Structure 1
Amino acid sequence: MHKVSILLASGLILAGCGGDSDEGPSVGSSIRHYVPATGATFHWQLQGTVNTGYDVDIYDIDLEDSSSDLIADLQAQGRRVICYFSAGSYEDWRGDAGDFPSAVLGNTLDGWEDERWLDIREQSVRDIMLARLDMAETKGCDGVEPDNVDGYSNDSGFALTGPDQLEYNRFLATSAHDRGLAIALKNDLDQIPDLVDDFDFAVNEECWEYEECDALAPFIEAGKAVLHVEYAESLVTDPVARQAFCAELSGSGLSSAVLPEDLDDSFRYVCP
């Protein structure tokens, strides 16, 4: 997986160069969870055997598929571990899939035929998410990355509103913090001004592709990390395009990488 010659030519580095970014801004003496600081380095892998060899601040890995031993091993290396789960969609392969009542299952997610939107207003959905947060706490995760927390702006099959989403996302944040867990706001760009104080960092997909990165400024201004990934084929195959991409985002405060959409560690390019 070492593509050193390509990366040197393109002005990128293969992540594995860790930084000192760890704790973010002081957000009150009662806070007992991790707050990743702007510029934190990261490895995001949700499929395949997790490559534990990167010298980074943060590992973002799947909650259900990752063992307590793996999490502890990464932490022993000085890494913080963020555990991924979907908080807004039903995935039919999950161990708790049978716990979802059929009435809370909505439309299929665009591009993900084996996932369906959830009715986040229902207590049964929230109870399942609380159980997942309990799992994250029990396994020793430092934080969580709940995905698909923007159902209100998609064709979910339910009459979800912006206030519904804000209330649900704050429920997730409060519940994570009650367990001593950091929590990321995943995408949901339009609600960032309302949620930046409730969440500890952001995870974003393709803000550069869609010219939306300015929307993440509130997290940067708060001193909180933004873990940013792009999947565009041009960035994967063209070293010159990657160099221009990194140059454009230099100084933005984003922690930017080009990764495979499957997040399987088949390649990894990180802006210096």
Structure 2
Amino acid sequence: MRIRPVCAVPRSRPARVRRRGPRRGVALALTALLLAPVPACREAVTVPPGAPTPWPAALADRWRWQWQLTAPVDVTVDADVFLLDPVATTSTETAALRAKGRRLVCQVRVGTYATGDPDATRFPAAVRGAAVPGRAGSRFLDVRRWDSLAPVLADRFRLCRGKGFGAVALADADGYRHRSGFPLGFDDQLLFNRRLAGLARQLDLSPGLVDDLAQVAALAPDFDFAVNQECVRRRECAKLLPFADAHKPVFHVEYTGDPVDFCVTTVGYGFASIRKDRTLDAWREPCPLP
């Protein structure tokens, strides 16, 4: 598939109209200040069938992205990269996006499971831990039990590959920081996450790390990109610099605050930033490209 040149694609616009108050004029002014003329079109990148998604270093700070976990997927959103739920997303939707040259990332929860998951019964009782706060029916997994978890997670990755995804974002990869019901340590999580990155590559998927900022410095060499939630609000954006400094994409989202304020920080760091609702539906408000 091919990524269309930036100069041939119009600016992103919200998937649905939503009033956000009087800041629209200020946002337009910020856009005018931050946007610089693009000297040339984006280089087209061809991805052979069955290959993991490549992330050219020259484009690390220029990706336009969308994160939607609701259904149906709005395939008309003007973004280069789509982070989607591999179960809820249909093969028809992924085919439509691939036909437009979009890069597809599936989100897979690797440290938790939900009772409603199609494969929930495949997790042995011994690996099922404490309830995940705020998520009814979800429980932590014992990430030390690689032999028990690997076959199930490998099939989750294969589902992504089968639906046309070229990359996988590993969510809930920080159980050691929570009361999981198991005595998980920093090193237990580090080993598990590295094993998952290797498993993804074996299955022709580019691995990405969701949050887990405390381990970014150690894991950045093992992963191709990062996904972060609210590093501005939490004042933790500098922890993601091992990815940005290595010219790897950082896909960042804030759920509160005015993009007029946080875009200045995150675009300066080289992140691809958007404002989203916590429901992660189709609406988005992207930061301007650098």
TM-score bucket of the superposed structures, by smaller chain: 0.7 to 0.9
The residue aligned with 2:200 is 176
What's the secondary structure of 2:170's corresponding residue? Answer: strand
Unaligned 5+ runs, structure 2 = 1-15, 32-40, 46-50
Where does residue 70 of structure 1 map in the other structure? Answer: 93
Structure-2 residue corresponding to 1:93: 116
Paired position in structure 1 for 2:60:
38
What residue in structure 1 maps to residue 144 of structure 2?
121
8 Å Cα contact 2:71/2:88 also seen in 1: no
Decide which of 162, 165, 172 is 2:189's aligned counterpart. Answer: 165
Residues 158/11 of structure 1: CA separation in 2 closer, same or farther (3 Å cut): same
- The whole-number CA distance in structure 2 between the counterparts of 1:5 and 1:129 is 40
Alignment check: 8 A CA contact 1:21 1:41 kept: no
Following superposition, the deviation at residue 22 of structure 1 comes to 8.1
Q: Partner of 1:111 in structure 2?
A: 134
Instruction: In structure 1, give the amino acid aligned to 2:17.
Output: H
What SS is found at the alignment partner of 1:248? Answer: helix
Per-residue displacement from partner, 1:171-230 (whole Å, max 9, x unpaired)? 111111111111111101111111111100000011111100000001001111101011
- Describe the SS at the equivalent of 2:221: coil
TM-score by length of 2: 0.81
Structure 1, unpaired ranges of 5+: 14-18, 24-31, 236-240
- Decide which of 235, 241, 259 is 1:242's aligned counterpart: 259
Q: Which residue of 2 aligns with 1:29?
A: none
Secondary structure of the structure 2 residue equivalent to 1:183: strand
1:134 is aligned to 158
Match of 1:154 among 178, 183, 198: 178
Question: Would you say the 8 A contact 1:120–1:126 is kept in 2?
Answer: no
Q: Offset of 1:62 from its aligned partner?
A: 0.5
Shift of 1:104: 1.1
Q: Which residue of 2 aligns with 1:226?
A: 250
Contact persistence 2:144–2:192 (CA under 8 A)? yes
Moved more, 146-155 or 4-13: 4-13
Structure 1 partner of 2:287: 271
Counterpart residue type for residue 68 of structure 2: Q
Q: How many residues align?
A: 251
The residue number in structure 2 matching 1:256 is: 273
- Judging changes above 3 Å, is the alpha-carbon distance between structure 1 residues 260 and 217 closer, same or farther for their aligned structure 2 residues? same
Structure-2 change in CA distance of 1:22 and 1:251 (3 Å) = farther
User: Deviation of residue 113 (structure 1)?
Assistant: 2.5
1:183–1:201 Cα contact (<8 Å) kept: yes
Which piece of structure 1 moves more, 175-184 or 246-255?
246-255
Query: Within 1, Cα distance between the matches of 2:105 and 2:215?
Result: 22
Q: Percent of pairs identical after alignment?
A: 35
Q: Deviations over 1:57-87 (max 9, x none)?
A: 1011101122222212101101011011111
Name the SS of the counterpart of 1:144 in structure 2: strand
Provide closer, same or farther for how the CA distance between residues 72 and 65 of structure 1 changes in structure 2, counting only shifts above 3 A.
same
Deviates more, 1:67-76 or 1:34-43: 34-43
Partners of 2:259 and 2:248 lie apart in 1 by 25
Please give the alpha-carbon distance, in whole angstroms, between the structure 1 residues aligned to 2:17 and 2:177: 39
Distance in 2, Cα, partners of 1:137 & 1:114: 27
Contact 1:20 1:57 in 2 (8 A): no
Match of 1:34, SS?
Answer: coil
- Partner amino acid, structure 2, of 1:271: C
* C-alpha distance 22-129 of structure 1, shift in aligned 2 (>3 A): farther
